Structure 1
Amino acid sequence: MLSSPPLPRPDRIRASRHALRAGTVCAVLFLALLTLVAARWSPLMSLDRTVADALHRRAVTEPGLVHVNRVLTDWLWDPWTMRALIAVAVVGLWWRGARLLAVWVAASTVLSGLIQQGIKAAVDRERPQWPDPVDSAHYAAFPSGHAMTATVSCGLLLWLLRRHGTGPRVWRAALVVAWVSVLGVGVTRLYLGVHWPSDVLGGWLLGAALVAFTVAGFERYGVREHSSDDA
């Protein structure tokens, strides 16, 4: 399925540095958003409510579109679907002998879930409440688990494809699928009225940060692991 040829040492160092910078930016932005959400900053709360109200008013008049969004969010882009894709990749890596990478990806996926649940519990933000809901969801709202899981899963899979050295056509197709999935799942959660916009943004930012730190950590580890081969 997926092989994992070691990258040349300069490429590993470059990839690690770029990923670390990107992860730091996303983490800082997430922490800023987390602070505003926890403090219930009035302009952000107002914007969340305005967007959520507008989407809900439209959703209640379009049951067909609601059904499409529910299918997408509950099946195609459901967190368990995303985790299943990661599990297939991990098994493939293990079978081909890339066991360190397989464990790294699996551990990163588990860690992202634990971090997500921990933050949800700490912030304990209420989800939108509607007199005429078109869908329902439980537990705390911030950050969006669907948005974060899709970001982490798609980000890790793209990284594995890049390390595999996939062809340009496959790479472009994978990028399109990943972007549509990550953005699409966020839209479905908003349209169905089960998240505030800042929940989805928080899921995207935190997921991107974790992917970037995962890449940076592995590529940095790989530099040490293969240093004797590069000498």
Structure 2
Amino acid sequence: MHSPTLSPPDRATPPPAGLRTGAVCAFLAVALTVLVTARWSPLMSLDRTVGDALHRRAVAEPGLVGVSRVLTDWVWDPWTMRALIAVAVIALWRGGARVLALWVAVTSALAAVVQQGLKSAVGRDRPRWPDPVDSAHYAAFPSGHAMTAAVSCGLLLWLLRRHAVTPPVWRAAAVAAAVSVAGVGATRVYLGVHWMSDVLGGWLLGAALVAFSVAAHARYTSDGRALLPPRS
């Protein structure tokens, strides 16, 4: 008699890439928040060094300051980003993908709640300069502009990927998103209204939230596309 063939033991299914990305970003965001709250000296020193260098340049470059203020206050403003999300939500709702529309809306709203909650909890002061080129109010950490841009651009890219847009459209959207997320962070530090770590915290939190939301939606819909109406 032949001995029965033993099947190899089942291996645990690895977590989806989005979940792993979210976990890494969340871990780094928590670590950064702890360091900011504790006012870890090396981080505070680096923030001050970068802030001082950029502020000296800003004072000497009024033209670039004007362009930066237009970009940060209008083009990449959190309300502009939320308006883009609102347009996408309305389009999804009218197209019949109502659960997906609600998923995107709730993710965007949750980002605002997390952002404001952390600002209140950490209570970090914004940079103060004897010759400011711009001003902002409320607590500094995390940067609301950076976090909102990361969440909004991440969600919009996810929706475009789900719709299987053509490669040129995808590349253009990816470049626009990258420029927007990086640009808004750079302008906030350049204008002297945020520390570098405020922006980094906003990026990490935004990336973690989008990654978790995408992974949760994929699990909820089994294959990640079940709630998208078929393309005509």
Name the TM-score, length of structure 2 as normaliser.
0.90
Equivalence for 1:85: 84
For residues 17 and 176 of structure 2, what CA distance do their matches in structure 1 show? 23
For residues 141 and 97 of structure 2, what CA distance do their matches in structure 1 show? 35
For residues 165 and 97 of structure 1, what CA distance do their matches in structure 2 show? 17
Equivalence for 1:159: 158
Q: State the structure with bigger RCO (CA 8 A, min sep 6), 1 or 2.
A: 1
Equivalence for 2:93: 94
Amino acid at match of 1:133: P
Equivalence for 1:141: 140
Q: CA offsets, 1:90-143, max 9 Å, x none?
A: 000000000000000001100110000000000000000001000000000000
Name the TM-score, length of structure 1 as normaliser.
0.90
For residues 40 and 132 of structure 1, what CA distance do their matches in structure 2 show? 25
CA 1:199–1:95 in 2, change beyond 3 Å: closer, same or farther? same
Alignment of 1:66-81 (within 5 A): 66-81=65-80
For residues 130 and 201 of structure 1, what CA distance do their matches in structure 2 show? 21
Alignment of 1:14-163 (within 5 A): 17-163=16-162
Q: CA offsets, 1:158-179, max 9 Å, x none?
A: 0000001111110000000000
Runs of 4+ aligned structure 1 residues displaced above 4 Å come to: none
Q: Which runs of 5+ in 1 are unaligned?
A: 1-12, 227-231
Give the drift of 1:224. Answer: 8.1
RMSD of aligned residue pairs (Cα, Å): 1.4
* CA radius of gyration, larger in: 2
Q: CA offsets, 1:28-78, max 9 Å, x none?
A: 000010010000000000000000000001100111000000000000000
Amino acid at match of 2:145: H
For residues 100 and 183 of structure 1, what CA distance do their matches in structure 2 show? 30
For residues 216 and 45 of structure 2, what CA distance do their matches in structure 1 show? 38
For residues 62 and 170 of structure 1, what CA distance do their matches in structure 2 show? 35
Percent identical:
72
Secondary structure of residue in 2 paired with 1:60? helix
